[in-house]
Structure 1
């Protein structure tokens, strides 16, 4: 399937789980489609970009390692994503990557995710957190930043400041995750008594 054929196919899908799963399985069954999916995802002014993002999230949810050869492309272009319905699935994938990076088991992402990749993800997450966007990307960004903050001492104070500043004006969903994140950051900062 060419890029043009994939683009045309994606232009017909809707946000239903059934459609997203169908196309995610198509990509998983022919992984050569993955870079084409990424190319469409980063056509950020095109509405099909959002549809590609929906499929991209489902592909990564089932097989996060599909992204490994494309970590440079993905992280270097994160800042270009601006449509709300593309930001949510992309921010979720950033959370998947962070969780794999901090997994107790050894994996490819742990070995190949470098400081530059992390910088791009962290910058995008802070942008999503401070911009006037929907709650879901903010929640995913909080979790991603919490995880990356384990190795980057400067993240927790910045994240705490943003959460506390925005707390009163945000939704109940934001507040619930914010309380949980603040508590976990505080626990993470407590020095070992050994």
Structure 2
């Protein structure tokens, strides 16, 4: 792990300006993206969630940086439990499902994790919303997803917040 990168991440805050400064550092030093991913995926490190926040900003603008790391990304999805990290990771899954070519295994791993996040009782709305949108994107190439997504959304609709319901309504209209 590059020591300056680790110090920058450890000293960062949730404020967008702080996260953006770190994202700029990665954009200027793209060779450090692998280190950022390694820290984000090291769920034992107390700063891994901060690395996830930064990675979300980096990939929102430069998604190609993830291309050579897609296997590591997909294989590590099930290791997350920190909700703050999961929010960013689920948003990255949305970017990936919309813009990158995935192998069958990568699609399967993202689909499986998005479904797990969606049906988990203890997940926050933002993670569930990104999971719904990810599943919608993946459902364009996997026939079985839309019927399952429709069933889950209609059954769970009454149990959730206004934010969840808004995303559910939007996606239900699209898959009818």
TM-score (norm 1): 0.87
Structure 2 unmatched runs, 5+: none
**CA distance in 2 between partners of 1:93 and 1:57 (Å):** 6
What is the aligned partner in structure 1 of residue 111 from structure 2?
122
Superposition map of 1:26-175 within 5 A = 26-100=25-99, 109-110=100-101, 113-131=102-120, 132-175=122-165
| Equivalent residue in structure 2 for 1:179, among 135, 153, 169 | 169
Render the CA deviation track for 1:90-122: whole Å, top value 9, x for unaligned.
Answer: 11111111121xxxxxxxx33xx2111111111
**CA distance in 2 between partners of 1:8 and 1:122 (Å):** 34
**CA distance in 2 between partners of 1:45 and 1:135 (Å):** 24
Cα offset, 1:75, TM superposition: 0.5
TM-score (norm 2): 0.95
Cα offset, 1:8, TM superposition: 2.5
Q: Figure out how many residues of one structure are paired with residues of the other and give that number.
A: 175
Cα offset, 1:7, TM superposition: 2.2
Larger radius of gyration: 1
**CA distance in 1 between partners of 2:118 and 2:44 (Å):** 21
**CA distance in 1 between partners of 2:4 and 2:76 (Å):** 23
What is the aligned partner in structure 2 of residue 103 from structure 1?
none
Q: What is the RMSD computed on CA atoms of the aligned residues?
A: 1.1
**CA distance in 2 between partners of 1:24 and 1:182 (Å):** 35
**CA distance in 1 between partners of 2:3 and 2:38 (Å):** 11
Cα offset, 1:164, TM superposition: 1.5
Cα offset, 1:39, TM superposition: 0.6
**CA distance in 1 between partners of 2:22 and 2:34 (Å):** 14
Cα offset, 1:48, TM superposition: 0.4
Render the CA deviation track for 1:126-177: whole Å, top value 9, x for unaligned.
Answer: 1110112110111111111011111111111111121122111111000011
**CA distance in 2 between partners of 1:173 and 1:184 (Å):** 17
**CA distance in 1 between partners of 2:89 and 2:33 (Å):** 14
**CA distance in 2 between partners of 1:99 and 1:118 (Å):** 11
Greater mean deviation of Cα atoms: 79-88 or 38-47: 38-47
What is the aligned partner in structure 2 of residue 6 from structure 1?
5
Render the CA deviation track for 1:6-58: whole Å, top value 9, x for unaligned.
Answer: 22321110011101110011011111110000110011133301000000000
